[in-house]
Amino acid sequence: MTASSPTASSPTTRTIALRHGLSVTVQEFGENTDGTGVLMLHGGAGPRSMAGFAAGMSQHAYVVVPTHPGFDGTPRPEEADTVADLASSYLDLLDELGLHGVMVAGNSVGGWIAAEMGLRDTRNRIACLVLLGSTGITPEPPLVIANPAEIGPVRTGELAFHNPALRLDPAALSDEQKAAFAANQRTLAVYAGDPFCHDPKLRGRLHRVTVPVLVLAGEQDGIAPLAYERALADSFPRATFRPIAEAGHFPHVEQPGAVFEAIGDFVAGEVKPAGN
């Protein structure tokens, strides 16, 4: 990936029609000048949780942030109801955009989607995966993946963020914001499935992901704990595991400097040598 602009860019938004009648709304940061880029996949917190990360990354690359169909009021066809559906659709999106050498970065369930994309990338468009507080594999007891629908927004905030100032205050939300939050959580439940946020068969397939993988784990993550993220990294044949201090489930929000440093080291040490 090469720098596309000297400063972080403001995003543009458009809706792209894919195959099988699915349309996806995307935000684009920077310009697609050389056919490479970064695909950023959000988790249950929605696309706004990736905005700062995308803006920072756009100083170095063209960045695309899709809104998973059904989030933030976007339409979701009934046939789009699994993580695998999203993974296949986003590979179609890479085809539509003509991208190659792509870094796919995903947070939470977005990381699970990224891993599923790595398994299905028959056209070799993906150069590497960056997983931040990712879900996907079955947790080994006593580890669990916390379900916001079961524990409520206050406890979710406590588990998700190391910094109390970043935790959601439900009392401060308007009725409209509460309704939007609830709708996003319902959409998350559709994609995350039952069992919540993992596929019991996924871990046994991840040895087939051949690109380099960076697993970034907030040391204070109470949603997908540190030991879970370490096990996830161990499931890939070419993974780098990097804990991020003073961060929870959104290390790219709480510690963006440490995250960008880790990604820079990963690209220089694992991705570019493989690509040269």
pLDDT single digits (tens) 145-202: 999 999 999 999 999 999 999 998 989 999 999 999 999 999 999 999 999 999 999 9
Q: Which of 99, 111, 102, 94 is nearest to 43 (CA)?
A: 111
The whole-chain average pLDDT of the chain stands at 94
How far is the C-alpha of 189 from the C-alpha of 193, rounded, in Å?
A: 6
Domain segments of the chain as ranges? 12-275
Q: How many C-beta atoms surround the C-beta of residue 82 within 10 A? A: 16
DSSP state of 42: -
DSSP secondary structure letter of residue 237: T
| Residue 35 neighbours by CB distance under 10 Å | 13
Judge contact between 41 and 67, C-beta under 8 A: no
State the amino acid at position 15 in one-letter form: T
pLDDT band at 122 (very low <50, low <70, confident <90, very high): very high
> pLDDT digits over 41-53, tens only?
999 999 999 999 9
Q: How far is CA 50 from CA 17, 81, 110, 237, in A?
A: 22, 22, 10, 27
Check residue 276 and give its pLDDT.
58
* Residue whose entry in the numeric block shows the structure tokens 């998350």: 188
User: What pTM does this model have?
Assistant: 0.95
Q: How is domain 12-275 classified at the architecture level of CATH? A: 3-Layer(aba) Sandwich (3.40)
Percent of the chain with pLDDT over 70: 96
Secondary structure of residue 46 in the 3-state scheme? coil
Q: 137, 203 in Cβ contact below 8 A?
A: yes
Distance CA 156, CA 185 (A): 12
The mean pLDDT value for 9-20 works out to 90
List b or e across 110-132, with b for residues whose CB sees 16 or more CB atoms inside 10 angstroms: bbbbbbbbbebbeeebbbbbbbb
Which pLDDT band, with edges at 50, 70 and 90, does 10 fall under? Answer: confident
Per DSSP bridges, beta strands 63-67 and 23-29 are antiparallel
Residue in 83, 75, 67, 58 with CA at minimum distance from that of residue 14: 67
CA geometry: angle 14, 17, 22, nearest 5 deg: 120
